[in-house]
Amino acid sequence: MRAIVFVLGLLVLSAGSYAQVPPGQPPGQAPTPKELPSYSIPFKLTNTQHIMVRAKLNGKGPFNLIVDTGAPALFISTETAKKCGVEIDKRGWANFDSFVLEGGVEVPKAKGRVEDLYQLKAMNGMGLPGVELHGVIGYNILAQFRIEYDLTKDRMVWTRLNYTPPPLLLQPGGKGGKDNTLEGLGGMMKMLGGMMGKKANLEARPRGFLGVELADTDRGVVVTNVLAQSPADQAGLRKGDRIVSVGGRECATVAEVFKRTNRRAEGEELQLQIERDGKEQELAIVLGKGL
């Protein structure tokens, strides 16, 4: 047990073995606050308390990515890069034609490092996060946005900046350009997880799509808009309905409603209790396919 605790203590994503381009490289353009577009990005905390968002790369996915301000770049696992069909150069970099976060953020021609980070391999091998992690979003993506989040909520705000971050160079250490001791840790933890009965995480599934807009009011959580032909529309949910409970659990705020619904996948049936014209009734909504 002591060995396991020691190993888990190493599972911290950091940029210790990487550095920016040496001094003398031209800096990025200064950010300017001119009508900057903002996006509401869903996120969740993994079982390991990492901030995780979902993204599609080259139209494939969704993939689970950790938001890590300590990482110098976008990192994508080898298997994930193969699914996206990207070409990897001799230094291990790839350009993704499209990078789209759930919530609408798009970063065209996003550059990422294709590498099986030992931290992610170890956590996935032990089944620690509760979901399979496919990569890390680091500085070269994050620096293009002002990011505001509240860990008691399930959404954060990304505001685009007029800023181009300077390029980064990786400086791997160890024989053959890799830290072989740490690299081997991921494989060891995966084997240990199997011996302990820990299963690898399930394949990522698209988030269930409901198709409503909600607001917190004096009456409680009220439907302010229903998307035409959406699952909510087809089930009979209407503008002005008050959401009483989701799945048998009362919801007093919009955040609580999203907390109950965001964990559901496409095809699952969601039981809603609503109030309409002073009378309560139940609706069964079969969720559609989200991102």
Kind of pairing between the strands at 74-76 and 110-114: parallel
Give the tens place of pLDDT for each residue, 67-101: 998 888 999 999 999 999 999 998 899 999 999 99
Tokens found for residue 272: 């809603």
Average pLDDT over residues 249-271: 82
Question: Is residue 2 helix, strand or coil?
Answer: helix
Answer whether residue 240 shows pLDDT above 80. yes
> What is the Cα gyration radius of the chain?
22
Answer whether residue 113 shows pLDDT above 50. yes
The domain 208-289 is placed in CATH, from the list 3.40.50.1110, 3.40.50.720, 2.30.42.10, 3.40.1190.20, at 2.30.42.10
**In the chain, ranges of CATH 2.40.70.10 domains:** 2-195
Q: How far is residue 114 from each of residues 62, 72, 85, 180, measured CA to CA in Å?
A: 17, 13, 12, 17
CA atoms of 96 and 83, how far apart (whole Å): 12
User: What is the pLDDT at residue 20?
Assistant: 42
Average pLDDT over residues 259-282: 84
Q: What percent of the chain has pLDDT above 70?
A: 72
User: What is the pLDDT at residue 267?
Assistant: 78
| Residue that wins the pLDDT comparison between 97 and 126 | 97
pLDDT-derived band at 276, boundaries 50, 70, 90: very high
What is the average pLDDT value for the chain, to the nearest integer? Answer: 78
Answer whether residue 180 shows pLDDT above 50. no
CA atoms of 155 and 135, how far apart (whole Å): 20
Tokens found for residue 190: 């995966």
DSSP for 172-194? --SGGGS-HHHHHHHHHHHHHHH
User: What is the pLDDT at residue 200?
Assistant: 53
Tokens found for residue 290: 């989200």
Answer whether residue 291 shows pLDDT above 90. no
Average pLDDT over residues 157-186: 61
| Residue that wins the pLDDT comparison between 154 and 199 | 154
Q: What percent of the chain has pLDDT above 90?
A: 38
Q: Hey, what CATH class is 2-195 in?
A: mainly beta
Average pLDDT over residues 175-196: 47
Helix axis angle for 118-126 and 180-195, nearest 10°, is 10
Q: Which of 25-29, 160-164, 167-171 reaches the highest mean pLDDT? A: 160-164
Cβ atoms of 36 and 161 within 8 Å: the answer is: yes
Cβ atoms of 43 and 154 within 8 Å: the answer is: yes
**In the chain, ranges of CATH 2.30.42.10 domains:** 208-289
CA atoms of 20 and 72, how far apart (whole Å): 8
pTM value? 0.54
DSSP for 233-247? HHHT--TTPEEEEET
Q: How far is residue 159 from each of residues 12, 42, 84, measured CA to CA in Å?
A: 27, 14, 26
Sign of CA dihedral 96, 100, 101, 106: positive
User: What is the pLDDT at residue 164?
Assistant: 85
